[in-house]
Amino acid sequence: MVILQACWGTSTFSPPWDSLRTRLYLAGQLLQSLTYMHMKGVAHGDAHPDNFSLFDFQLAFIDFENSIRVPAGSLQALAPVGEIRPPEPFGAPELVSTLHVDFFAADVFSAGQVLLFELQAAGTGRQTFVPSYFGLLTKMTAPTPMQHPSAAKALRELEDIIGDCL
């Protein structure tokens, strides 16, 4: 797992990842990093394709300008509506509609949208599609925060998918 400060000029998702093995490996890195940040009480707050860097086959979050420290024992934090928000379609719907936001759930939504973006960019010409992986991304991008798995639970489910596929 790698978490880096801003590293501009890289494109993580263009071209899309070249194989199912690569896709699942890098998705695992994303979810490991997100799980670690959440365990430390930090929500990234701005996960979208431009805020990841891929260097030496290590996927890393970058640009922590909008990250937020969630108080210990709390799942929610108060922040001005619209202030912490990834661009469409990566931002969770609740980031624009409520004052009290579960920023961890919003991060999971954004991570799911990023992984769906990569999967769609890959198209269907290669071995890219695994129904259980798509099912996990569907859960991660469910319309309400209560439906999103935690980053740790999504990581465990992905590890099961990897075990079944590879």
Query: Who's near 27: CB < 8 A, 6+ residues apart?
Result: 115, 133, 158
Topology of domain 2-165, CATH:
Transferase(Phosphotransferase); domain 1 (1.10.510)
Query: Who's near 9: CB < 8 A, 6+ residues apart?
Result: none
CA distance 27 to 59: 9
* pLDDT for 10 beyond 60: no
> What are the pLDDT digits (tens) for 23-81?
899 999 999 999 999 999 999 988 988 888 887 788 889 888 888 887 766 655 555 54
Point out which residues pair with 59 in neighbouring strands: 54
Does this model's pTM top 0.85?
no
* pLDDT for 8 beyond 60: no
Q: How many CB atoms lie within 10 A of CB 22?
A: 12
DSSP-based three-state secondary structure for 97 = helix
